[in-house]
């Protein structure tokens, strides 16, 4: 993978860089989870909302250990 050239390397999809980005992608594309009644739209929307409130915001509202080290470590 690291030795691929130009177009071939560009064609490889990347994974989202954060949980928030994952949830954005799931929000935009979750039709495959509705097929066969596996999940309901309401369940998916509720789960996404819960994950944002309980996990994404939890991390976003606190300093990262590296930030703490950079700015507060003496």
In a domain? residue 8: no
In a domain? residue 5: no
The total of structural domains in the chain comes to 1
| pLDDT per residue as tens digits for the range 10-64 | 888 888 999 999 999 999 999 999 999 999 999 999 999 999 999 999 999 998 8
Decide if pLDDT at 74 tops 60.
Answer: yes
In a domain? residue 2: no
8-state DSSP, 61:
T
22: number of Cβ within 10 Å: 15
Q: DSSP states of 2-57 as a string?
A: TT--HHHHHTS----SSHHHHHHHHHH--HHHHGGGSS-HHHHHHHHHHHIIIIIH
Report whether 51 contacts 20 (CB < 8 A). no
Which residues contact residue 51 at a Cβ distance below 8 angstroms, ignoring those fewer than 6 apart? 19, 23
Which domain covers residue 61, as residue numbers?
16-72
């Amino acid at each position: 993978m690291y030795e691929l050239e130009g177009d071939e390397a560009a064609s490889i999809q990347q994974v989202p860089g954060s949980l928030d980005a994952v949830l954005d992608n799931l929000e935009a594309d979750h039709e495959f989870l509705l097929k066969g009644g596996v999940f309901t739209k309401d369940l998916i929307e509720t789960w996404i909302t819960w994950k944002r409130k309980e996990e994404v915001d939890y991390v976003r509202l606190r300093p990262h250990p590296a930030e703490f080290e950079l700015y507060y470590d003496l």
